[in-house]
């Protein structure tokens, strides 16, 4: 696993797409809805934000906007997903937001445990703890 430290976040994003190609359309749809929820509830969320010292809410909101725009601009059918799309979602600035979403989704979708690639994906994305929650 030490070798994973040499992978860029863009490489990890590409590998994630390759590990779970059948989950990508659903993942992108859920990620877009997650971003939309944050954007629509920004006033409520900004008041109840629990981690202002770690990540300011408005920075997180900006990431939600950026991810939503990226998905909207580049959302294509699965067979047309290219490495650049994965790299775009997992660039250094957006990585924390997308990885946090996938971590929360993986907890919600317990059937992911049935995928033999699941442990590899978790190690790729969460080798180090991303966020404090």
Question: Is the pLDDT confidence value at 53 over 60?
Answer: yes
The H or E element containing residue 22 is none
Residue 109 lies in a domain: yes
Assess if residue 84 is contained within a domain. yes
Domain contains 131: no
Considering its fold, how many domains does the chain have in total?
1
pLDDT score at 44 = 93
For residue 34, being part of any structural domain is answered with yes
Position with higher pLDDT, 25 vs 59: 59
Residue 132 lies inside a defined structural domain of this protein: no
Q: In terms of pTM, does the model score above 0.85?
A: no
Containing domain of residue 58, as a range? 2-126
More confident residue, 108 or 15: 15
pLDDT at 4: 55
- The mean pLDDT of 26-38, rounded to a whole number, is 82
133 falls within a domain: no
DSSP per-residue letters across 67-104: HHHHHHHH---GGG--HHHHHHHTSTTTHHHHHHHHHH
Q: What is the mean pLDDT of the chain?
A: 69
Q: Which tokens hold the place of 23? A: 């989950």
Is 39 inside a domain boundary?
yes
85 within some domain: yes
């Amino acid at each position: 696993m030490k070798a994973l430290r040499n992978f860029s976040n863009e490489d990890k994003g590409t590998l994630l797409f390759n590990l779970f190609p059948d989950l990508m359309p659903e993942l992108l749809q859920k990620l877009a809805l997650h971003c939309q929820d944050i954007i629509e509830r920004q006033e409520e969320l900004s008041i109840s934000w629990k981690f202002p010292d770690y990540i300011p809410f408005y920075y997180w909101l900006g990431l939600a906007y950026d991810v939503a725009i990226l998905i909207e601009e580049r959302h294509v059918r699965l067979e047309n997903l290219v490495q650049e799309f994965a790299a775009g979602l997992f660039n250094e600035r957006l990585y924390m937001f997308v990885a946090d979403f996938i971590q929360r989704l993986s907890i919600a979708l317990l059937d992911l445990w049935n995928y033999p690639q699941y442990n590899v994906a978790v190690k790729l994305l969460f080798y180090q703890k991303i966020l404090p929650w």
